[in-house]
Structure 1
Amino acid sequence: MARRGREVAGVLPLFQVESWLAGRLLVSVPYGVYGGVLASDSTAADGMLAAGKRLAEQLNARSLEFRSMTPVDETLPVTSGHASFRRDLPGCESGLETFLPRKARAAARKATERHALTTVFGANHLDAVWHLYARSMRRLGSVNYPMRFFRALAAQFDSDMVVQVVRYSGRPVAGLVSFVHRDEFMPYFVGFDERVDLYGVSQYLYLESMRWAVRNGCRVYDFGRSRVDNHGAYEFKRLCGFEPRPLGYQVYVPGGRPAPDLSAGSAKWRMARQAWKYLPLAVARPLGAWLSKSIPG
């Protein structure tokens, strides 16, 4: 924290991650899309950056990562691996009829007409969403966070955490955990049951979340980040009418050593990710929960 007299001039939230895969990491912030420096002016920002670098050196950290929306340090290169997707929501639900592009709207409508999908909201559906999320992560070759992490988030965020389930014939087939901050709505953890192949369920899920957001006074829909090389998620968001904005992530590496690469798109982990897809869920869920502590998201 930077102070100017009695006033707070800047903050830099930093978390120390002891990674079994990469060693000690400092991240602002892990498991989050955004982070970095918050400062009232450039002098305070520069002071926070310098203090963060000194701390990384003192702790012998492998790297210090700033997950900023825009670059904060002129001396550091910008990693070009992620983009964010944000749009202003319409002022009323009827405006959603033209908010999504025609094809996305048609897919959501057909999902409703063909499959009689229903949506329910409520924290009591958190377990169902987590199981759907864990299935999807296994299918993608990625590790899942533990159920206790979801419960801790629910306890902390309370009504600012929105839990949503889509049902088909009474069965949960898709789920979404979203967060609300002021007038912004952010869908965050999503899961689908790949055993039930329903056309348009993704578009329907997100359209219903947009309806909830508009009904509850949200003005911005933040579709989160996607890796530029993750063509599925990246293109899906574009087809929903959201344009990518490159994120200003930057990494400081003390001593000029190579930065550790834990990204899902790294060739280093390609074989492991492929093998992960074939693990039984009874193995992938607890093992993923344990490994997730070493991967700051």
Structure 2
Amino acid sequence: MSDTLTVSLETTRGDWDAFVASHPQATAYHDWNWREVFGPVFGHEPLYLAARRAGAIVGVLPVVGFRSRLFGKFFCSLPFVNYGGVLATTPEAAAPLLAEATRLARDRGAAHVELRHVARQLPEAPVRQHKVTMLLPLKESAEAQWTALDNKVRNMIRKAEKSELTSESGGAELLDAFYAVFSVNMRDLGTPVYPKRFFAAVLAACGPKGALHVVRHKGQPVAGSMTIVHADRVEVPWASALREARNMNPNMLLYWHMLKEVIARGGTVFDFGRSTPGEGTFLFKKQWKAEPVPLHWEYALIARDSPPDQSPGSGKFAMAIEMWKKLPVPVANTIGPLIIGNIP
């Protein structure tokens, strides 16, 4: 059998997932099942590239092809989530994966390929370092974790516990409660909301690794989040709380509830998710003693001279954000899913 490295779209779920499970830098989003989120929910094109040598996979790169009304055509690995990009056993396997993704992107008229890496994997590629992830190494017990918290954080959790708030965890049965909070919070932030079917597809893709968490006040949901387990790490990609319930600190109870559950299951790292340094979510996560880890979004530029800024929070969307905040929630929930699928 030839020792030449080849890259193609021809692979199987079993071979793909076996390689991902063996790779120390893999994330939950590299799993094959996520094809059923990117493709069916939003109509984008999943292109899952595998590099092989002597028949064995030595690298993979899942990319998603966009035809966006807002940003044109581009490739992303991976959109809507915090991580993605190349997984390879050697640098020699990584470069051909990007080269083939770039060729496919060029053939489809795409302007660039974006790879969402933690550490740099393609030193010659253009890069943006505008985001960090926030990681908290966990103590061996909930009691030790509680002791490690600052007094201010402990007092806010105690206030939440005294405010007739309850917390629970589950799966799809909590989707309506989670979405009731998430959709209102997104409107309040001026951001188009994902459709409910997106979160249903994420839960299906994650299986037992995914969970929803809801905090209620007198039976009504006031905070909610999703967690995804991968190896010894638990990540919170989405979390929200209602502004009108802020004085009860439901978000503090929500995170303490999640932390206790993770520790009880033997998790060692709590990933608070992506943030922009200095902004409100960054400061919220920092108070739990999470530490920032820089993210490196690397690019292959095809029909542009510099990496794009496609964030809905960028300055060019400021007026639209302020207008969005004034929409009735049912209107925002109807229009939002038609827009958000165009924003990676």
Query: What is the match of residue 300 of structure 2?
Result: 252
Query: What is the match of residue 188 of structure 2?
Result: 139
In structure 2, relative to structure 1, the CA distance for the partners of 1:87 and 1:196 (3 Å cut) is: closer
CA contact (8 A) 2:140 2:263 kept: yes
Tell me how far apart the structure 2 counterparts of residues 33 and 197 of structure 1 sit (CA, whole Å).
Answer: 26
Please show how residues 4-83 of structure 1 align to structure 2 within 5 Å.
4-83=53-132
Structure 1 residue 266 and structure 2 residue 310: aligned? no
Tell me how far apart the structure 2 counterparts of residues 134 and 173 of structure 1 sit (CA, whole Å).
Answer: 12
Query: What is the match of residue 16 of structure 2?
Result: none
User: What amino acid sits opposite 2:137 in the alignment?
Assistant: D
- Report the 3-state secondary structure (helix = DSSP H, G, I; strand = E; otherwise coil) of the residue aligned with 2:243: coil
How far is the alpha carbon of 1:290 from its aligned partner? Answer: 1.0
- Report the 3-state secondary structure (helix = DSSP H, G, I; strand = E; otherwise coil) of the residue aligned with 1:74: coil
User: What amino acid sits opposite 1:163 in the alignment?
Assistant: L
In structure 2, relative to structure 1, the CA distance for the partners of 1:217 and 1:269 (3 Å cut) is: same
CA contact (8 A) 2:133 2:295 kept: yes
Alpha-carbon deviations, 1:38-78, whole Å to 9, x = none? 00011001221222222222222122101000122222232
Number of aligned pairs? 294
Please show how residues 1-297 of structure 1 align to structure 2 within 5 Å.
1-113=50-162, 115-123=163-171, 124-228=173-277, 231-257=279-305, 259-296=307-344
Structure 2 spans left out of the alignment, 5+ residues: 1-49
How far is the alpha carbon of 1:221 from its aligned partner? Answer: 0.5
CA contact (8 A) 1:71 1:248 kept: yes
Alpha-carbon deviations, 1:116-161, whole Å to 9, x = none? 3211112211111011001111111111110111111222222211
Alpha-carbon deviations, 1:1-25, whole Å to 9, x = none? 1111121111111111221101112
User: What amino acid sits opposite 1:117 in the alignment?
Assistant: L
User: What amino acid sits opposite 1:295 in the alignment?
Assistant: I
Alpha-carbon deviations, 1:217-275, whole Å to 9, x = none? 2221111111236x100111111111211101122220344544321331111111111
Tell me how far apart the structure 2 counterparts of residues 171 and 256 of structure 1 sit (CA, whole Å).
Answer: 48
User: What amino acid sits opposite 2:302 in the alignment?
Assistant: P
Percent identity reads 34
Tell me how far apart the structure 1 counterparts of residues 249 and 135 of structure 2 sit (CA, whole Å).
Answer: 22
Query: What is the match of residue 8 of structure 2?
Result: none
- Report the 3-state secondary structure (helix = DSSP H, G, I; strand = E; otherwise coil) of the residue aligned with 2:235: strand
Tell me how far apart the structure 1 counterparts of residues 184 and 309 of structure 2 sit (CA, whole Å).
Answer: 25
Out of 257-266 and 100-109, give the one that drifted further. Answer: 257-266
CA contact (8 A) 1:22 1:62 kept: no
Tell me how far apart the structure 2 counterparts of residues 256 and 109 of structure 1 sit (CA, whole Å).
Answer: 52
Tell me how far apart the structure 2 counterparts of residues 193 and 55 of structure 1 sit (CA, whole Å).
Answer: 43
Query: What is the TM-score with the length of structure 1 in the denominator?
Result: 0.94
User: What amino acid sits opposite 2:261 in the alignment?
Assistant: W
Tell me how far apart the structure 2 counterparts of residues 259 and 88 of structure 1 sit (CA, whole Å).
Answer: 32
Structure 1 spans left out of the alignment, 5+ residues: none
How far is the alpha carbon of 1:164 from its aligned partner? Answer: 0.9
User: What amino acid sits opposite 1:218 in the alignment?
Assistant: G
CA contact (8 A) 2:142 2:263 kept: yes
State the Cα RMSD in Å.
Answer: 1.5
